[in-house]
Structure 1
Amino acid sequence: MSFEQEGRKGNLAKGWLKWGNYTSELDSSISHSGKYAAQIISHSSGDSFGSVAYNIPANLDGKSITLKGFMKIEDVKDGFAGLLLRIDGGGTSLAFNNMQNKGVKGTKAWTEYSITLKYPANAETIYLGGILTGKGKAWFDDFELIIDEKNIEELKNVYPANKDNEFDNGSKVDFPVIDKKLVNDLNLLGKIWGLLKYTHPAIQKGKYHWDYELLRVLPKYLETQNVTERDQLLINWIDKLGTVKKCRQCPEMKSDAFLSPDLSWIKNSNMGARLKKKLIFIFNNRYQGKHFYIKMGQSAGKPKFLHENPYADMPYPDEGFRLLALYRYWNMIEYFYPYRNVMDKNWDQVLKEYIPKFINAKSELKYELAALQIIGDVQDTHANLWGGADKINDLRGHFYPPFHVRFIEEKLVVTDYYNPELKEVARLKIGDIITQINNRPVEAIVDSLKPYYPASNNAARLRNMSQDLLRSDKDEISIQYKSSDKNRKKELVLYKKDSLNYYSRYRKGDQKSHKMLDDNIGYINLESIKQSDVKTIKKTFKDTKGIIIDIRNYPSAFVPFSLGSFFVSSSTPFAKFTYGSVQTPGEFAFTKDISLSPSSQAYHGKVVVIVNEFTQSQAEYTAMAFKVGKRTTIIGNTTAGADGNISTIMLPGGLKTVISGVGVYYPDDTPTQRIGIEPNIKVNPTIEGIRKGKDELLNKAIDIINN
């Protein structure tokens, strides 16, 4: 957490990130100690912010967390400067402080400041750094992170695994030509490495840096000439870890488990009997204590992956680290992904398929694409490259069209403008159909890009793809489109994202969470709902003819129970979860049913819930709760099919992805993953409706209540 090592671009120290649009760079002329400090300089208008940040996995337990650091400021006004500490988990910020309440401004010499937060039990990532808002300059240096009054470096070094730094600067592994035999051998090694990682006592106690143990054994493994040599090397490797004692408390695998570990690869491999027996013994006597690499979170058994170094300082990892990335990801899915049974591909065969793709990825871009492609094979709309995909973003481009597009009736249709004033410049009308982009048919582009857009189903894939189809690395592209039944062609001017009201595409509803429509019909928009609104909604809408609940969005508050209770008259089950196991990796069992308890006064009118491909995750779970009401009708089109709280995965090169970490099912064991929430009545928007400015789904909901 110092600034003494220059980053690869020279503007920030190794591992540090830039947030905001102020100038953030190293300063060698001013520092608190050493040669460098981080400097943030506002732009002339001073109407934004700049920040430097460093992130580390939240691998250590504790009750409180403190960030200390030195800050120097000059002419700070119309804003503030401060240290920044943020704790994330489950895809959201759990705790945050940036010293805004201190109001530090003006000119001050080097001063030590500190921030203390409660340390959340389900923390996944810690962000620390400094921030400047308004006008002025700020310098930061000598950060220190403390958990329960102990420096994080001191806590980290409790485990021998964290003291191993042999491969910090590279794997030192040279691969020969990748042939079929080598792929088969590396496939076997990856599966053995993963099995040992999650079951062997010495590894799970943190005695070995398991990433680096792989890199140690790889050169010798690549030199083995036959099965006998290979097996003996593996046996010696395992024996060096220490004796595995007979486990007296290892649980039997559940006979009623929904998913069980698949160890058939051991039996089906060409390993000798001795090695097979050793691996089976280790699994049957697997470690049962506190695990170094995995624990289950509080959210119905969501996995939390611990001590997984992202190696962010090597954006293009070498061959050994690229193979490590593949092994890490494949085994996380194999043992802790609750939906591995609903993928189209046989996951057992996927590792072998990707070994040559990862090793032979000859550039940072090709490595990112290989990672994105295997993430896509998991078929989870939650999953994507949410961090570290710099080269993919460069490839897709940093210029955007002035309007939203969406697939309507399988056509790419202009649905709205980010900035209304750009409508006259672009000259395309709402409802116009884009047919070609740079002389390529839209259909052909979509087909070529499918492997690189992870999604549970095609509706979600097209939703995500539509955001990027008109992106470019140039500020102008050629398009052909159909307008007023005439084919037209033009050069479309594109814009930087920060000049557009880009995220308006996700904010479709009114700012107010509820209102009364004509004919005594209540309307609720979950996009802006607050828990405090629920009581008012129940009182205001209790005597209405019907209620329409719009979930074509992501709810701003968690209301399945508080609002769902209004629509049932008795305790009503609507969902259940599957939860994984660190004691038996690969096993998933069902929880008890999750039920709604009725309010003191049940609603007796009709309820219509509107969903579409933007209905995802918490939105889908909320729709499940409302669906069990006896007078509820779900209308719309396919939802995103990604239900369940997310778990974060970090891969070498600083790549960040997530998975749906909890399996969500209906009480009759029907899954929601990939399928989504199936409407009782399918209603799709039409191009004609878009052109006329109609909300056809809302109109259908009103019609259902009135008729």
Structure 2
Amino acid sequence: MKIPFICLALLVVHLGAVAQSPAPAPNSNPRQLNSKTYKAEQDTAFRHGSGIALDDLTKPQIDNLAVLGRVWGFVKYYHPAVARGDYNWDAEMLRILPKVLNAKTRDERSVALAAWLTGLGPVPACSSCREPARANVRLTADLAWLTDKNQLSAALSKQLVYLRQNRNQESHYYVDSAPNIGNPLFLHEETYATPATPDAGLRLLALYRYWNMIAYFFPYRYAIGEDWQPVLAEFIPQFAAARTDEQYRLAALAIIARIHDTHANIYGSDKILVAYKGTLHAPVQVRFVEGQAVVTDYFHATLGPATGLQKGDVVLQVDGVKVDDMVKARQALTPASNEPTQLRNIARDLLRGNSDKVALLVRRAGQDLPITIARVPGAQLNLGLNNGTPDRKAPFFQLLPDNIGYLSLGTIKQAELPAAMAQLKNTKGLVIDIRNYPAEFVVFSLTKYLSAKPVPFVRFSEPQPTYPGMFLGTPVLHVPGTKEAPYAGKVIILVNELSQSQAEYTAMALRAVPGAKVVGSTTAGADGNVSTIILPGNISTMITGLGVYYPDGGETQRVGIVPDVVVTPTIAGIRAGRDEVLEKAVELIAKP
């Protein structure tokens, strides 16, 4: 049985982010994934532009385009001829678009779409297209619109319902499942890299592509927090009006943010977004503590203190703009699963800009002080501090006072783990710090030292390419037990908003160890392997592509790993240089 077992990382760097994967990144060059030649690849008519303008759209035209987007995406993933790669489905959409756009009535629109689909050839009856057992179903596609009389004529509705019942059951030109894991791989998606700003037709294609990938292959569509259907029509005029490089990327960021997934963003060294956010950074780290933007550390040992800012300073204004106003303005363009993680990401860019100086108003010891500090290129700074691991070469284990062991997974080394656990075996307790991204995958190799017997800790939901929109549950996965005597001391796991993806998955496994406790604050709420999406203009984004749940079906997405003991840093603690979360862990171990 195929069991997913690796959660992928998002490591934020000063120019964007890099996804770590055990396999080549999907879509880096889709045509290298399969040497077979497809008819779809011979259709290059719109490779460098559609020639379509979408100016001054009327409400009926927006409705027409919304219906087209739904039908196009449904047929893309359900129709056997499209699945075989017989048609470049991007190009086919651009060909039919003008006729649908200018349709005057629902029936005129439906006639055009019905004829379009009929032209793909007959759909053979499917003898294997059965509904799965209800007990295994975690999520189904929202296809109520197939029988909506306001959108489709009776004839077109009948045609689409038949297609659902007789959907493709073979391999698919546009989507596959990652081997041994199960998250979707989106294949053969043209990048349309030139021109840099796609024209209106290609921008609409970007919206259709993304909206439908979420509709059919996002395991947490139900947790978005709103009905995904009307979002399509809402964004059509926004993408149509996004005529500049910057406007287009901000429109893309806006819809990406709407799925509330910390894995989702625009990644890579996107020059347009780098210029928009700023090429220079202040040499101080800012995090939101007690609801305020607080200086918590320095990105450079000398440049940081030279700013005159002190740890514990509260930033009130940046270049005359109140921080509260900056947060409100940036929330809609900052993808994240929950508010703590959204504030984490906003804080990272709060002092970023294109000028070499930035004027701040900070509060220190009850006084408001104006301070102007220098910005420098990110390459001069240790921005890895933002990921909870300032020094990748630091030892991953140590002995704390009072015979307490400490492991930092941000620098953990699989090969050295047996020796480390041998040295820590007789400690009173073990603190496992996952306020970082694990340097190596140690879910099973670490937990085997801690539990006397196998313990259930996770189950998954996987997308079904042969039934798009359907997610089926998998059997429960267990952490292994040890044949030797397990670690006898207390186990405390530290987490916060920096704990994301594989870090959250690791925390779930460690928490399953009998007696273990999680201490800290809610995590990033993005747990599951990532799937890459490429949008026109060569924009790279991702989604969490695999559903991850506790054995009882409890949620992790958006919720995060909820601590057993909630401890958050305080401004006073930061001023004093304390690690209050670690202190609480030591206190819990010291108690009888």
Global fold match (TM > 0.5):
yes
Q: Counterparts of 1:349 and 1:424 in 2: how far apart (Å)?
A: 50
Equivalent residue runs for 1:159-198 within 5 Å? 159-198=38-77
Shift of 1:682: 0.3
Code of the residue aligned with 1:162 in structure 2: it is E
Cα deviation for residue 299 of structure 1 reads 4.5
> What whole-Å deviation, never above 9, does each CA across 1:255-297 have from its counterpart, x for those lacking one?
2311112210122242111110000101110111111000011
Match of 2:402 among 475, 497, 519: 519
Of 94, 100, 115, 1:221 maps to 100
Match for residue 703 of structure 1?
587
CA contact (8 A) 1:640 1:674 kept: yes
- Work out whether residues 338 and 524 of structure 2, in 8 Å CA contact, stay in contact via their aligned partners in 1: yes
Letter in 2 for 1:124: P
Query: Is 1:569 aligned to 2:452, yes or no?
Result: yes
Counterpart in the other structure of 1:132: none
Counterpart of 2:197, as a letter, is Y
**Distance change in 2, residues 1:146/1:659 (3 Å):** closer
Q: What per-residue deviation string (whole Å, max 9, x for no partner) do you get for residues 129-156 of structure 1?
A: xxxxxxxxxxxxxxxx989xxxx8xx46
Report the counterpart of residue 514 of structure 2 in structure 1: 630
Contact 1:415–1:431, Cα closer than 8 Å, also in 2: yes
- What residue in structure 2 maps to residue 337 of structure 1? 218
User: Residue 471 of structure 2 is aligned with which of 588, 603, 609?
Assistant: 588
Q: Say if 2:265 and 2:335, in contact at 8 Å, map to a contact too.
A: yes
Structure 1 residues 528 and 318: CA distance shift in structure 2, 3 A: same
* Counterpart contact for 1:515–1:523, Cα < 8 Å: yes
Q: Does 1:291 align with 2:172?
A: yes
- Partners of 2:207 and 2:518 in 1: how far apart? 40
Q: Which runs of 5 or more residues in structure 1 are unaligned? A: 1-89, 95-119, 129-144
Q: Distance in 2 between matches of 1:501 and 1:618?
A: 22
Separation of aligned partners in 2, 1:423 and 1:673: 36
Alpha-carbon contact 2:216-2:470 (below 8 Å) kept = yes
Q: 1:508 to 1:387 in 2, by over 3 A?
A: closer
Q: 1:676 and 2:578 equivalent?
A: no
Letter of the structure 1 residue corresponding to residue 19 of structure 2: G
The counterpart of 1:265, out of the listed 145, 162, 165, is: 145
Task: State how 1:28-67 maps to structure 2 within 5 Å.
Answer: none
Three-state SS of the structure 2 residue aligned to 1:563 is helix
Q: How much does 1:174 deviate?
A: 2.7
Take 2:145 and 2:491, find their aligned partners in 1: how far apart are those partners? 50
Aligned positions, number: 569
Give the structure with higher Rg (CA): 1
How far the C-alpha of 1:691 sits from its partner, in A, is 0.8
Query: Retained in 2: the 8 A contact 1:388–1:656?
Result: no
- Residue of structure 1 in register with 2:236 after alignment: 355
Q: Can you list the C-alpha shifts for 1:228-270, whole angstroms capped at 9, x where unaligned?
A: 2211111110011011111112232442311112210122242
Q: 1: distance between equivalents of 2:96 and 2:268?
A: 30
Aligned partners of 2:283 and 2:300 also within 8 Å? yes
State the distance in 2 between where 1:211 and 1:146 align.
20
Opposite residue 91 of structure 2, the aligned amino acid is Y
Query: Retained in 2: the 8 A contact 1:368–1:389?
Result: no
Alpha-carbon offset, residue 565 of structure 1: 2.0
Q: Does 1:206 align with 2:85?
A: yes
Give the partner amino acid of 1:92.
Q
Residue type of the alignment partner of 2:250: L
Q: CA deviation at 1:125?
A: 4.5
- Which residue does the alignment assign to 1:251? 130
Identify which of 330, 354, 379 aligns with 1:498.
379
Q: Which amino acid aligns with 2:327?
A: V
Q: Secondary structure at 2:108's aligned position in 1? A: helix
Q: Aligned to 2:444, what secondary structure does the other structure show?
A: coil
> TM-score normalized by structure 2?
0.93
Q: Which whole-Å CA distance do the structure 1 matches of 2:268 and 2:65 have between them?
A: 28
Single out whichever of 206-215 and 311-320 deviates more from structure 2: 311-320
1:123 shift after superposition: 5.3
Residue-by-residue CA offset, 1:619-666 (whole Å, 9 max, x unaligned): 000000010112211000110000001000000011100011110000
**RMSD (CA atoms):** 1.8
Q: Distance in 1 between matches of 2:211 and 2:149?
A: 18
* Pairing 1:404–2:332 present: no
User: Which protein is richer in strand relative to its size?
Assistant: 1
Residues 303-452 of structure 1 mapped to structure 2, 5 A cutoff? 303-387=184-268, 389-452=270-333
Deviations 1:62-112 (A, max 9, x none): xxxxxxxxxxxxxxxxxxxxxxxxxxxx93255xxxxxxxxxxxxxxxxxx
Deviation at 1:425, TM superposition (A): 2.9
Residue 345 of structure 2 aligns with an amino acid whose one-letter code is: N
Q: Contact (CA 8 Å) 1:577, 1:665: kept in 2 or not? A: yes
306, 313, 338: which one aligns with 1:457: 338
Counterparts of 1:243 and 1:602 in 2: how far apart (Å)?
62
Q: Contact (CA 8 Å) 1:388, 1:655: kept in 2 or not?
A: no
Shift of 1:505: 3.4
Structure 2 Cα separation of the partners of residues 686 and 460 of structure 1: 17
Q: Which residue of 1 aligns with 2:26?
A: 124
Instruction: Report matched runs for 1:519-538 at 5 Å.
Output: 519-538=402-421
Query: Which residue is 1:141 aligned to?
Result: none
* Residue aligned with 2:44, SS: coil
Gaps of 5+ in 2: 1-17
The letter for the 2-side match of 1:212 is A
CA contact (8 A) 1:545 1:705 kept: yes
Which consecutive segments of 4 or more residues in structure 1 shift more than 6 A?
Answer: none
Preserved contact between residue 300 and residue 577 of structure 1 (Cα < 8 Å) = no
Contact 2:286–2:297 (8 Å) recurs in 1? yes
Q: Does the residue aligned with 2:260 lie in a helix, a strand or coil?
A: coil
Structure 1 residue aligned with 2:505: 621
How big is the shift at 1:225? 1.9
Aligned-pair identity (%)? 40
SS at match of 1:608: strand
In structure 1, distance between residues paired with 2:530 and 2:522? 21
Q: Flag the structure with more relative contact order, 1 or 2, with Cα contacts below 8 A and sequence separation at least 6.
A: 2
Asked if structure 2 preserves the Cα contact closer than 8 Å seen for 1:159 and 1:207, the reply is yes
Per-residue CA deviation, residues 374-417 of structure 1 (Å, 9 max, x unaligned), is 10011000100114743232121111111111111111111111
